Structure 1
Amino acid sequence: MKYPTPHIIMEGNTKFTLGSIQRNKILYDFDKILLYLNAKGKLMFGETFKLYDEDRDTLFKLCNYFIRDEANCKKLNIDVNKGILLSGPVGCGKTSLMKLLRHIVPYQKPYKMIPARNVVFGFNHIGYKTIEDYGNGQYFCFDDLGIEPIGRHYGKDCNVIGEILLSRHDLFLKHHVKTHGTTNLNAKELEDKYGNRVRSRMRELFNLVAFERDSRDKRN
């Protein structure tokens, strides 16, 4: 499917212009992107949805990553070829943003949002085929990494997400397949959960984008 005007997005009868095209290149306007995200967020999550000024720096990083603004990403120390690991306190809006941001680039390959705990429940039910199922060319965003239980199938324990992240790392190196994630945990907690080997692969797999530690709980 071709997008002759990828910077223009229609939501019902409303047109959102996220920037302009100059010399066959889109020049995005960050404030116009935020206007669209606010409107799309209300459609997806209800009228109470809003973006917060205190999160502007985090949003700026994420938007530049998704629109693949390589100049800004270089300044922000973000590699556009890697995935995003979005971290922050409970309720700060990580999951909503990862569901929302993919809509500003409808021409890019989409990713599926998958709760990490659901992957483990699948493993407990059908076993190692679950790990194989996530070792394919699809793009995924694993939600709430690190707080899922250990998998158990026929009496054998397995760190299911850890194994999947190793597989996804191989896919990234060989086929440039992206993986995203969200987490409430810090680097040490992730290492305690998955081990040093997986944590090392996660550094190669993800750009870390973090909310401030004192970010408010938007669900209150």
Structure 2
Amino acid sequence: MENPSKIVEGGVEHVLGSFDGKKVIYDFPKILAYLNAKGKQLFGNEFRIFEEDHAIIYKLSNYYIRDAESCEKAGIDIHKGILLSGPVGCGKTCLMKLLRYIVPHQRIYEVIPSRNITFAFNHIGYKVIEDYGNQGFFCFDDLGVEPFGRHYGKDCNVLGEILISRHELLLNHKVLTHATTNLNAEEMEERYGNRVRSRMRQLFNLVAFDSKMVDKRK
């Protein structure tokens, strides 16, 4: 039987915990060591995990490994997606790209910039809403700061429509949706309206960085 506690990449074996033949007992320091190595591979040698991020990474790691007991204590529902919020440059996108690799046996979602979806809508039209709303595993990056869509003279809140469809996808097929955002709850409601905001509460667990977090890219 394949050991899901071990990940082999480029001839290097990363051990994330122990496996008793039925379940993995994960070790958080080992997860951190793997994430640091994988981050350097994906984003360059300048990448590093900051100590002040350990708490949020621990919470998200428990979600990804489906540790229901730890998630319940943290107020996270493993049957919802993740909405990771925080100020510009705090590392939201990197984390959402990175954490999916600790569970290679699960289906990996694609991280898509929200603005790119709107641009595609402007060119292609409503098929884009169908493509992203009715299938697939996605993380919508920078949700809420994308422009409104416009196709053949008709305006459309593209991501708002997609989120409504993703809500139906969750209810009917248990397909999860993830997202990152710089906006707070009030700004989200102003951007998408109460109808979408109420569905977002069912779609997502809100996990937030400290609003005073500094821009790590500077």
Using the size of structure 2 for normalisation, the TM-score is 0.98
- Provide the secondary structure at the position in 2 that maps to 1:113: strand
Deviations 1:2-23 (A, max 9, x none): x711110112121110000136
CA shift, 1:137, in A, is 2.8
Q: Which residue of 1 aligns with 2:156?
A: 158
Tell me the distance in 2 between the aligned counterparts of 1:116 and 1:86. 14
Deviations 1:136-189 (A, max 9, x none): 331100000000000001111000000000000000000001100000000000
Tell me the distance in 2 between the aligned counterparts of 1:108 and 1:204. 22
Count of residue correspondences: 218
Unaligned segments of structure 2, at least 5 residues: none
Q: For residues 74-113 of structure 1, what are the structure 2 equivalents within 5 Å?
A: 74-113=72-111
* Alignment pair present for 1:126 and 2:124: yes
Deviations 1:1-45 (A, max 9, x none): xx7111101121211100001361110001100000000000000
The residue type equivalent to 2:46 in the other structure is T
RMSD of Structure 2 on Structure 1 (CA): 0.9
Q: Which residue of 2 aligns with 1:60?
A: 58
Q: Which residue of 1 aligns with 2:70?
A: 72
Tell me the distance in 2 between the aligned counterparts of 1:12 and 1:126. 39
Q: Which residue of 1 aligns with 2:47?
A: 49
* Alignment pair present for 1:14 and 2:12: yes
The residue type equivalent to 1:98 in the other structure is M
Question: Pick from 185, 201, 209: which aligns with 1:203?
Answer: 201
Tell me the distance in 2 between the aligned counterparts of 1:96 and 1:108. 19
Tell me the distance in 1 between the aligned counterparts of 2:187 and 2:137. 25
Tell me the distance in 2 between the aligned counterparts of 1:36 and 1:170. 35
Tell me the distance in 2 between the aligned counterparts of 1:26 and 1:215. 33
Q: Which runs of 4+ in 1 moved over 4 A?
A: none
Question: Pick from 113, 118, 123: which aligns with 1:115?
Answer: 113
Q: For residues 183-194 of structure 1, what are the structure 2 equivalents within 5 Å?
A: 183-194=181-192
Tell me the distance in 1 between the aligned counterparts of 2:40 and 2:128. 34
Identity of aligned residues (%): 64
Tell me the distance in 2 between the aligned counterparts of 1:54 and 1:216. 11
Query: Contact (CA 8 Å) 2:4, 2:19: kept in 1 or not?
Result: no
CA shift, 1:135, in A, is 2.2
